Chain A
Amino acid sequence: MPGPMGRRMPRGKRIENPGKVFKRLIKYVAKNYGVHLIIVAALILVSVLANVQGTMFIQRLIDDYIAPLLLSDTPDFKPLAGAIFRVACFYAIGVVSAYTYNRIMINVTQGTLRNVRDDLFSHMQTLPVKYFDTHSHGDIMSTYTNDTDTLRQMISQSLPQVFNSAITVVSVFISMLVLSIPLTLVTLVMVAVMLLATRKVAGLSSRYFLQQQKDLGQVNGFIEEMMGGQKVVKVFCHEEANIRRFKELNDNLYHSADKANYLVNIVGPVNAQLGNVSYVVCAIVGGVLALSGISGLTLGELASFLTFNKSFNMPINQVSQQFNSIVMAMAGAERIFKMMDEVPETDNGYVTLVNVKEVNGELMESPERTGRWAWRHEHQADHSVDYVELKGDVVFDGVDFGYNDEKIVLHDVKLYAEPGQKIAFVGSTGAGKTTITNLINRFYDIQDGKIRYDGINVNKIRKADLRRSLGIVLQDTHLFTGTVMDNIRYGKLNATDEEVVAAAKLANADGFIRLLPQGYDTVLTGDGANLSQGQRQLLAIARAAIADPPVLILDEATSSIDTRTERIVQDGMDKLMKGRTTFVIAHRLSTVKNSDCIMVLEQGRIIERGTHDQLLEEKGRYYQLYTGNAIAT
């Protein structure tokens, strides 16, 4: 029960359809815990009824048990003892069932939270790269933390509380009706007043709450931005201005938070005191009725009724206090479901990657690892199966692409890479270099044209198999929490320690790894924060090396590495490229020089292509870039 920490309420608007969200949430919980919920409901019913038995006993205590004792000269305590024993049994049942349902609810709550997280995560893994490119990572994270947290309170406390209260209200209401209809009406009127007051206050407070969330968002945003740029703030002596601006935002937050909290705080006392007023009014009306004898109300009955009056007000008060957490949970659940509803990556590929061996000059599928791979192409028309050896032959034919339909980033791109060739892309930022690499492995799908891989349209290849055949080393290296060994092994999960070391050696990473405190067992945290940029890159190369793919996509690091480290990285990359079809987004002269083909990209078009010498002779854009005499346009 880790309190309501750091709640961040609606990022933006209100919930569209709380009823629908609520229904869906219940359905979601019931999917795995349906039986649990039914048992819990039954147990709540039992515990409430047992409690009512207890209350009834107290009501009758005076009239039925104590009053007779007072009348007789030799008081017989046996009936009272019997009654107490009976009630004790009811209470025992009540306690046991209350404990049991609360105990079950823990499993339901924690289990549901676990399922929510697991479902979110496994669904998130199926989402296209586009989703991650178009949603802020902060918002995605907040779904896991803040939104999931709101469900905890809601499921573990609000749900049983509301159900419990509902049953209590109904059963107490019936008992009240039986005792006295006019007094019940009086109570109902008072309850209506209470509800009205709650609504009024809640309405007011929700307005301030929204304002508070907005102000909080602004304060948090400002803090995040300034803490990130604190060193720049120092360098520019901007501290005073910062403090002034912060004070302004902070004061706004204080004012709205003050009002919102104030209104939330008074709901309790208002309802409690209205409950007391209700009690007095009932006592007076009941007293008049009982004394005048009009409705046949006995004094004992009046006393009972007054107790019921109290137990009727209590659940209403409790539910009104849960109101806030329910609203928050609905907002959280809405965002959780929204993420679960995101459309996963489509994959209609049916061509798969299999191990093959050659028998009598023909490729045969083989269950064991043979080191040779082929595309298993089952033709949809006649179900005949072809095997095409995996070579790394990539062809782009008239490819058009845009991240959204309005803005086309690549126009009519044509390129051919024969197995083992090295293709380099050069050009300015935004010319579309990175985009091309996003297309080969189908992080994004093209709008027009065709990409063929070993003669097969990439759309026909199952994405997992397609990607397994492509190695990728990105400019921003991402490492995972775990040992160096684990990180390299990421490329091939069943690799032996020897294979890992071999891959590290190939990537020139072995040298620095051995110098780390625990060598290959050194634990990396925070995306490899304890390593230098160059070292991280070497690990990424080793990771690609162990996967041993026929086609490589490399994005060279920009200038933040010094020349010496760069040479080591470069050497590692060169060794990795040997014998593989490679696409390089090149920044370095040496890489470009020995490429089989250089593509010069400008505004999404390939404007020049050829070898280094050919392009120099053309004296075009490449020549300008190369000689450093480019004229800024």
Chain B
Amino acid sequence: MIKVLAAQIREFKKESILTPVFMILEVIFETLIPFLMASIIDDGVEAGNMRHIYMVGGLMIVMALAGLYCGIMGGKYGARASTGFARNLRQAMFENIQTFSFSNLDKFSTAGLVTRLTTDVTNIQMAYQMLLRMCFRAPISMICAMAMAFFINARLASVYLIAVLLLAIVLAFLIRRAMKYFQMAFPKYDELNASVQENVSAIRVVKAYVREDYETGKFKKASQGIYDIFLKAEKNVVLNMPVMQFTVYSCILLISWIGAKLIVQDMLKTGELMSLLTYCMNILMNLMMISMIFVMMSMSMASAKRVSEVLCEKSDLTNPDNPVCEVANGDIEFRDVDFSYYGDKDKAVLHDINLKIKSGETIGIIGGTGSAKTSLVNLISRLYDVTSGSVLVGGRDVREYDMESLRNQVSVALQKNVLFSGTILDNLRWGNENADEEECRRACRLACADEFIEKLPQGYNTYIEQGGANVSGGQKQRLCIARALLKKPKILVLDDSTSAVDTATDARIRKAFAQEIPDTTKLIIAQRISSVEHADRIIVMDDGCINGFGTHEELLENNEIYREVYESQTGGGGDFDEKAGEE
């Protein structure tokens, strides 16, 4: 895991090495300074030697400046190394996600990917900076101070050594206990936030059933739970403080007492005693710091693990060695296709599918939820690979094509489609980057989207909010169809893409397809009989199998499911789905 992350340091190796180097240098200057301070008092002030004060003072200022330089450089490289590392991590993850296949994406939730790219990376960035700047600094500072103390007086310094050992044991114990509670607390904390989210999105239900007080009660219970567990964790953390102070103070008093005796015996100078006392704080503060770093690092481990999961995920679809880049025509064939989402043969979603569709045909697909209509069409543009059997497009197995070429020729309007923030034209050009406005207009005309676009104040330059929040469901669907059309595909798949479009417009779109793009193979998944009844042939899906395949009349004649659906929807237009987009 660490290796995977460390590989992303890349061009920031220099900074990552220089940061601790400068931090260590800063520490060395920092430890030398009290030594000089002592010298100012002992040899300068007490001896009444002004020259010495000037000289050592000057030296101290030089050292302070050098320390300042190192501190600034350490800060600079630390910032660069950590933010650069974070940038590389984000970039690497994002690039890897772009290679993900649908089944890779299914494995991670959208929210999960977003957190990994944002919060988790920020956590790692902070931990990394801490690691570079403090992880070396604190122990080195401690060791330096200790060395100086021993240099001044080994006997007195041994007091510190004992204190440090004792303190380290106690701190480690306390932190381990606190960590246990923290680890229990975080999931609960996430749960609490999830429940707020739930409440916010379901606020109409809450209010309709007058459950405000009930919800508040539920929330208060959860928030009290968090309070309790954080209290337990923090109680352990806060014990660090008195333990640490106790040790520091004991050291100071012990040193004073022993120091006084040594001075009387003329084995120690007064200035040296003062320096020793200064180092005392230094050593123990650093120990405290190390324990904090330890806590921070172990907390960011969870983030590191989540990030490396994304980095290590390999796309399960790969391009063949000598890919074919041309799709000959819009023929589609399924040969003995079985398909399951996790490669688990027992849970096959599609069984034994055999189909032959000729270029230019219009095929309707109908069937209940979970009958695997979407799974069927997703195989055509190789969004997933078959478990066994083969899918052929233009006479070749889809696995022989270059994926990008294949997907440019097989255009899909997904069931869960999205528009992106940007103008309508920007969105349309997802289909074809180089399309001029005229081409875009033509596509919109085919999709019957031109009528509402032209009524918008900014027309084709209207800005679409994220997720298409400012257009209605039916408008969104028509824009998505237009976007798919701009690819000028040989095969066009509409996965329940006109469900929010009224029946009349739906009919006009189908008519436009028949007249304007007769050579394109069109597959239309729908719930409405009216959307498919005029197709050349209709596939009836049931529980992952093809239950019937034929014309409207044939199916009415001999397919029970089709007849049943037809009867339930007959009578005029079938339903009153919104005449979308006419407002």
Q: Is A98 an interface residue when CB atoms closer than 8 A count as contact? A: yes
Q: A631–B504 contact, CB under 8 A?
A: yes
Interface stretch, picked from B189-197, B341-349, B351-359, is B189-197
Q: A99-B241, A231-B416, A587-B575 are in contact. Are A632 and B582 (CB under 8 A)?
A: yes
Instruction: Give the distance in Å from the alpha carbon of A79 to the alpha carbon of B213 in the complex.
Output: 68
Q: A118-B223, A291-B48 are in contact. Are A233 and B123 (CB under 8 A)?
A: no
B93 CB to closest chain A CB (Å) equals: 10
Q: Is A250 an interface residue when CB atoms closer than 8 A count as contact? A: yes
Q: Which of these, A234, A443, A563, A629, contacts B527 with CB under 8 Å?
A: A563
Q: Which of these, A66, A91, A625, contacts B576 with CB under 8 Å?
A: A625
Q: A6–B98 contact, CB under 8 A?
A: no
Q: A234-B102, A558-B577 are in contact. Are A467 and B207 (CB under 8 A)?
A: yes
Q: Is B556 an interface residue when CB atoms closer than 8 A count as contact? A: no
Q: B114–A470 contact, CB under 8 A?
A: no
Q: A283-B40, A559-B577 are in contact. Are A273 and B64 (CB under 8 A)?
A: yes
Q: B45–A283 contact, CB under 8 A?
A: yes
Interface residues as binary, A112-133 with B (CB distance below 8 Å gives 1, 0 otherwise)? 0110011001101110010010
Q: A626–B572 contact, CB under 8 A?
A: yes
Name which of A98, A228, A253, A534 has the most chain B CB atoms within 10 A of its CB.
Answer: A228
Q: B500–A558 contact, CB under 8 A?
A: yes
Residue of B nearest to A624 (CB): B504
Residue of B nearest to A148 (CB): B193
Residue of A nearest to B72 (CB): A266
In chain A between 311 and 344, which residues have their CB closer than 8 angstroms to a CB of chain B? Answer: none
A43 CB to closest chain B CB (Å) equals: 12
Majority secondary structure of chain B interface residues (helix, strand, loop or mixed): helix
Q: A95–B249 contact, CB under 8 A?
A: yes
Q: Which of these, A65, A242, A560, contacts B260 with CB under 8 Å?
A: A65
Interface residues as binary, B53-80 with A (CB distance below 8 Å gives 1, 0 otherwise)? 1100100110111011011101110111
Q: B530–A628 contact, CB under 8 A?
A: yes
A254 CB to closest chain B CB (Å) equals: 4
| A residues less than 8 Å from B241 (CB atoms) | 98-99, 102
Instruction: Give the distance in Å from the alpha carbon of A626 to the alpha carbon of B474 in the complex.
Output: 19
Q: A1–B581 contact, CB under 8 A?
A: no
Name which of B257, B403, B574, B582 has the most chain A CB atoms within 10 A of its CB.
Answer: B582
Instruction: Give the distance in Å from the alpha carbon of A353 to the alpha carbon of B71 in the complex.
Output: 72
A-B contact count (CB 8 A): 469
Q: A302–B451 contact, CB under 8 A?
A: no
Q: A137-B201, A262-B75, A276-B64 are in contact. Are A106 and B98 (CB under 8 A)?
A: no
| B residues less than 8 Å from A479 (CB atoms) | 202
Interface stretch, picked from B156-164, B367-375, B387-395, B545-553, is B367-375
Instruction: Give the distance in Å from the alpha carbon of A223 to the alpha carbon of B89 in the complex.
Output: 14
Q: Which of these, B87, B418, B499, B572, contacts A628 with CB under 8 Å?
A: B572
Q: A98–B245 contact, CB under 8 A?
A: yes
Q: A225–B421 contact, CB under 8 A?
A: yes
Instruction: Give the distance in Å from the alpha carbon of A88 to the alpha carbon of B252 in the complex.
Output: 10
B167 CB to closest chain A CB (Å) equals: 14
Q: B119–A6 contact, CB under 8 A?
A: yes
Q: B102–A270 contact, CB under 8 A?
A: no
Interface stretch, picked from B145-153, B231-239, B319-327, is B231-239
Q: A58-B256, A265-B75, A565-B369 are in contact. Are A231 and B414 (CB under 8 A)?
A: yes
In chain A between 257 and 304, which residues have their CB closer than 8 angstroms to a CB of chain B? Answer: 257-262, 264-266, 268-270, 272-273, 276-277, 279-280, 283-284, 286-288, 290-291, 299, 302-303
A486 CB to closest chain B CB (Å) equals: 10
| B residues less than 8 Å from A124 (CB atoms) | 199-200
Q: Is A4 an interface residue when CB atoms closer than 8 A count as contact? A: yes
Q: B194–A588 contact, CB under 8 A?
A: no
A306 CB to closest chain B CB (Å) equals: 7
Q: A125–B215 contact, CB under 8 A?
A: yes
Instruction: Give the distance in Å from the alpha carbon of A221 to the alpha carbon of B420 in the complex.
Output: 11
In chain B between 254 and 300, which residues have their CB closer than 8 angstroms to a CB of chain A? Answer: 256-257, 260-261, 263-264, 270, 273-274, 277, 295-296, 299-300
| B residues less than 8 Å from A87 (CB atoms) | 253
Instruction: Give the distance in Å from the alpha carbon of A411 to the alpha carbon of B312 in the complex.
Output: 59
Q: Is A450 an interface residue when CB atoms closer than 8 A count as contact? A: no
Q: A75-B264, A250-B87, A258-B83 are in contact. Are A268 and B71 (CB under 8 A)?
A: yes
Q: A1-B234, A66-B270, A106-B234 are in contact. Are A603 and B57 (CB under 8 A)?
A: no
Q: B583–A431 contact, CB under 8 A?
A: yes
Q: A99-B242, A225-B421, A626-B572 are in contact. Are A261 and B83 (CB under 8 A)?
A: yes
Q: Is B144 an interface residue when CB atoms closer than 8 A count as contact? A: no
Q: B196–A121 contact, CB under 8 A?
A: yes
Q: Is A589 an interface residue when CB atoms closer than 8 A count as contact? A: yes
Q: A561–B369 contact, CB under 8 A?
A: yes
Interface stretch, picked from A139-147, A162-170, A575-583, is A139-147
Q: A95-B246, A236-B431 are in contact. Are A228 and B67 (CB under 8 A)?
A: no
Q: Is A28 an interface residue when CB atoms closer than 8 A count as contact? A: no
Q: A441–B260 contact, CB under 8 A?
A: no
Interface stretch, picked from B435-443, B512-520, B563-571, is B563-571
| B residues less than 8 Å from A464 (CB atoms) | 210
Q: Is A516 an interface residue when CB atoms closer than 8 A count as contact? A: no
Instruction: Give the distance in Å from the alpha carbon of A466 to the alpha carbon of B186 in the complex.
Output: 40
| A residues less than 8 Å from B472 (CB atoms) | 429-430
Residue of A nearest to B61 (CB): A280
B345 CB to closest chain A CB (Å) equals: 23
B311 CB to closest chain A CB (Å) equals: 15
Q: A306–B249 contact, CB under 8 A?
A: no
Q: Is B126 an interface residue when CB atoms closer than 8 A count as contact? A: yes
Q: Is A521 an interface residue when CB atoms closer than 8 A count as contact? A: no
| A residues less than 8 Å from B431 (CB atoms) | 236
Q: Is B86 an interface residue when CB atoms closer than 8 A count as contact? A: yes
Q: B496–A560 contact, CB under 8 A?
A: yes
B208 CB to closest chain A CB (Å) equals: 4
| A residues less than 8 Å from B30 (CB atoms) | 272
Q: Which of these, A54, A463, A561, contacts B252 with CB under 8 Å?
A: A54
| B residues less than 8 Å from A134 (CB atoms) | none
Q: Is B399 an interface residue when CB atoms closer than 8 A count as contact? A: no
Q: A302-B45, A532-B369, A533-B369 are in contact. Are A238 and B430 (CB under 8 A)?
A: yes
| A residues less than 8 Å from B528 (CB atoms) | 559
Q: Which of these, B91, B182, B214, contacts A246 with CB under 8 Å?
A: B91
Q: Is A493 an interface residue when CB atoms closer than 8 A count as contact? A: yes
| A residues less than 8 Å from B117 (CB atoms) | 223, 227
Q: A75-B264, A280-B61, A306-B41 are in contact. Are A106 and B466 (CB under 8 A)?
A: no
Q: A227–B113 contact, CB under 8 A?
A: yes
Q: Is B136 an interface residue when CB atoms closer than 8 A count as contact? A: no
Instruction: Give the distance in Å from the alpha carbon of A230 to the alpha carbon of B416 in the complex.
Output: 11
Q: A225–B61 contact, CB under 8 A?
A: no
Instruction: Give the distance in Å from the alpha carbon of A26 to the alpha carbon of B110 in the complex.
Output: 39
Residue of A nearest to B508 (CB): A632
| A residues less than 8 Å from B508 (CB atoms) | 632
Q: A266–B75 contact, CB under 8 A?
A: yes
Q: A70–B264 contact, CB under 8 A?
A: yes
Q: A231-B416, A563-B568 are in contact. Are A481 and B198 (CB under 8 A)?
A: yes
Q: Which of these, B105, B246, B249, contacts A231 with CB under 8 Å?
A: B105
A304 CB to closest chain B CB (Å) equals: 10
Q: A110–B193 contact, CB under 8 A?
A: no
Q: Is B84 an interface residue when CB atoms closer than 8 A count as contact? A: yes
Q: Is A507 an interface residue when CB atoms closer than 8 A count as contact? A: no
Instruction: Give the distance in Å from the alpha carbon of A117 to the alpha carbon of B205 in the complex.
Output: 21
What 8 pairs across the A-B complex have the smallest Cβ distances? A269-B71, A628-B573, A265-B75, A478-B202, A6-B119, A261-B79, A430-B583, A428-B579
Q: List 25 A-B contacts (CB under 8 A).
A: A2-B299, A3-B296, A65-B260, A84-B257, A102-B238, A121-B219, A122-B219, A227-B110, A230-B110, A232-B414, A232-B430, A234-B383, A235-B412, A236-B407, A246-B90, A270-B72, A429-B472, A429-B578, A429-B579, A443-B204, A463-B210, A472-B208, A543-B209, A626-B573, A632-B451
Given A121-B223, A287-B50; 12 other pairs, CB 8 A cutoff: A88-B253, A91-B245, A114-B226, A132-B200, A247-B91, A258-B83, A273-B68, A273-B71, A307-B274, A589-B572, A589-B575, A627-B572
